[in-house]
Amino acid sequence: MKRNKSFTDNKPLLYLVATPIGNLKEFSSRAIEIVNECDVVAAEDTRNAYDLLNKFGIKKELYSLREHNEKEASQHVVDLINDDKKVVYMSDAGYPGISDPGNLLVKEMLANDIAVSTISGSSAFINALVASGLSSKHFYFYGFLSPKDNEAKGEINSLKDFRNTLIFYEAPHRIIRTINLLKDGLGNREVCLARELTKINEEYIRGTLDELSQLEEDTLKGEMVIIVDGNKEETMISDDEITARVAYFTKLGLSQKDAINVVSEEFKINKNYIKKLLF
Ligand code: SAM
């Protein structure tokens, strides 16, 4: 076990800086201050980082850390920090590590005893979820489905029994394809398409998957998040399936208590009933 206090342990620290998903006013004064104080800005795309920082009158040494070089570039960031350089990392939009590079970087920092902290901002899926009108109590963020239809169908199939709200990212040119795959794989559920969040053309399109599949693709420009209702069908699940589901979650690393809680919530089954099956 390791405990890290971000600001009082006096240890080297990497900041992950969230960047605006559209509206530049969401680049916080704290982000500006931290970036101004750093020596090097590592970024997913140095041109985008240059443009963003330029709008705030900030000029910094930039270093490219993207999906294809994340491992080696992370090692370089470790070297910079060990050389007493202050480094921040930013991806193109929203939070690093959320369908963007950043996760390997964090692992590399922790393996080298470097602390990590975040500078808050928005993430497209959080904005979309909270305004969607679908349940935000429990949700499952999936991110991008495979661009290959067959693989995407398999992914959707693995999600069809989830009771909780499902969240997907998608590229604009695949949006109708994905709505259709979701309709075929999940049935005709409630959906919210959140488009161009925080930008002038921000739009929420709420309806059923069937209704949204009939939209003209050329009316769906820009970036989009798809929020789909969880499975609300009454389930007739057998006792064997319940115990197998608990075993599945414990294998994933949950304690038995947590696994029981998840399965109880997922299938709306009394916890004591599940406990009786197991013990
Ligand atoms: N790291 C980002 C985050 O924290 O949200 C996500 C980056 S991912 C590469 C890009 C995807 O996020 C887009 O394809 C879209 O699904 C979603 N996205 C990003 N900005 C958005 C916006 N302004 N409105 C709607 N969706 C957005």
113 within a domain of the structure (yes/no): yes
- 65 and 91 fall within a common domain: yes
Nearest CA to ligand 1 atom 16: 169
Domain C-terminal end among 99, 122, 145 = 122
Query: CA 88 → CA 21, 33, 53, 64, 157, distances in Å?
Result: 18, 12, 13, 12, 39
pLDDT at position 159 is: 95
pLDDT at position 273 is: 87
- 182 and 263 fall within a common domain: no
5 within a domain of the structure (yes/no): no
Kindly tell me if the per-residue pLDDT of 233 is higher than 90: no
- 20 and 116 fall within a common domain: yes
Kindly tell me if the per-residue pLDDT of 231 is higher than 80: yes
Domain CATH code at residue 53: 3.40.1010.10
How far apart are the CA of 127 and the centre of ligand 1, in A? 10
Q: 107-135: per-residue pLDDT in tens?
A: 999 999 999 999 999 999 999 999 999 99
- 63 and 90 fall within a common domain: yes
Pocket-testing residue among 129, 167, 196, 224, ligand 1, by greatest number of atoms within 8 A of Cβ: 224
- 19 and 81 fall within a common domain: yes
pLDDT at position 50 is: 97
* CA 7 – CA 13 distance, rounded (Å): 9
Residue 4's pLDDT band, with cuts at 50, 70 and 90, is: confident
Mean pLDDT of 28-55: 97
Domain span at residue 62? 13-122
- 219 and 271 fall within a common domain: no
How far apart are the CA of 232 and the centre of ligand 1, in A? 27
Tell whether pTM > 0.75. Answer: yes
3-state DSSP assignment of residue 179: helix
Letter for the amino acid at 184? Answer: D
pLDDT at position 163 is: 87
The packing angle between helices 271-278 and 239-251, to 10°, is 90
- 115 and 176 fall within a common domain: no
Mean pLDDT of 37-46: 97
Which residues lie with the beta carbon below 6 Å from any ligand 1 atom? Answer: 21-22, 91, 93-95, 98-100, 123-125, 169-171, 194, 196-199, 223-225
Q: Which residues of 204-235 are buried (b: 16+ CB within 10 A; e: fewer)?
A: ebbeebeebbeeeeeebeebbbbbbbbbeeee
pLDDT at position 187 is: 96
- pLDDT: is 181 or 217 the higher one? 181
How far apart are the CA of 225 and the centre of ligand 1, in A? 7
- 143 and 191 fall within a common domain: yes
Q: 234-276: per-residue pLDDT in tens?
A: 767 888 999 999 999 999 999 999 999 999 988 888 898 899 8
Q: 194-222: per-residue pLDDT in tens?
A: 999 999 999 999 999 999 999 998 899 99
143 within a domain of the structure (yes/no): yes
138 within a domain of the structure (yes/no): yes
Pocket-testing residue among 67, 141, 169, 179, ligand 1, by greatest number of atoms within 8 A of Cβ: 169
Q: 126-178: per-residue pLDDT in tens?
A: 999 999 999 999 999 999 999 999 999 999 999 998 889 999 999 999 999 99
Q: What is the mean pLDDT of the chain?
A: 95
Domain C-terminal end among 122, 150, 165 = 122
Kindly tell me if the per-residue pLDDT of 190 is higher than 90: yes
22 Cα nearest atom in ligand 1: 23
pLDDT at position 262 is: 92
pLDDT at position 267 is: 84
pLDDT at position 215 is: 95
Kindly tell me if the per-residue pLDDT of 11 is higher than 90: no
- 171 and 254 fall within a common domain: no
How far apart are the CA of 74 and the centre of ligand 1, in A? 23
- 118 and 144 fall within a common domain: no
pLDDT at position 161 is: 85
- 133 and 186 fall within a common domain: yes
| pLDDT over 70, % of the chain | 100
Contacts 24+ apart (CB under 8 A), 100-103: 100/44, 101/44, 101/65, 101/66, 101/67, 101/70, 102/16
pLDDT at position 15 is: 97
Domain C-terminal end among 91, 122, 153 = 122
3 within a domain of the structure (yes/no): no
Pocket-testing residue among 17, 21, 106, 118, ligand 1, by greatest number of atoms within 8 A of Cβ: 21
Q: Which residues of 93-105 are buried (b: 16+ CB within 10 A; e: fewer)?
A: bbbbbbbbbbeeb
- 200 and 211 fall within a common domain: yes
Q: 52-83: per-residue pLDDT in tens?
A: 999 999 999 999 999 999 999 999 999 999 99
CA proximity to 65, closest of 86, 92, 84: 92
**Considering its fold, how many domains does the chain have in total?**
3
